[in-house]
């Protein structure tokens, strides 16, 4: 989880230095990490024992 936030921080800093296609790749990578963090926090709020079931339910919904 900390690694995800650290990666997002690095992406935000790198976004200022890149242009064009590289910037769009950074945005897509940031969105993927953001979705991961969102699913992780939603499942964690339901309880650690139900976390695996919640992740599979979230993936089946999408």
Q: Which of 38, 33, 31, 34 is nearest to 55 (CA)?
A: 38
**Per residue in 33-46, pLDDT tens?**
888 888 777 776 66
Question: What pTM, to 2 d.p., does this model score?
Answer: 0.52
**Tokens at 37, concatenated:** 């963090």
Q: How many domains does the chain divide into?
A: 1
Supply the pLDDT for residue 4: 75
Helix, strand and coil in the chain, % to nearest 5: 85, 0, 15
- Residue 34 structural domain: 2-61
For residue range 10-60, what is the model confidence (pLDDT) as tens digits? 878 887 888 888 888 888 888 888 888 887 777 766 666 566 677 777 788
């Amino acid at each position: 989880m900390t690694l995800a936030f650290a990666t997002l921080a690095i992406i935000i800093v790198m976004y200022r230095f890149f242009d064009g296609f590289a910037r769009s790749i950074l945005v897509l990578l940031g969105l993927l990490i953001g979705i991961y963090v969102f699913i992780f926090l939603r499942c964690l709020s339901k309880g650690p024992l139900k976390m695996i079931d919640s992740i599979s339910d979230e993936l089946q919904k999408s």
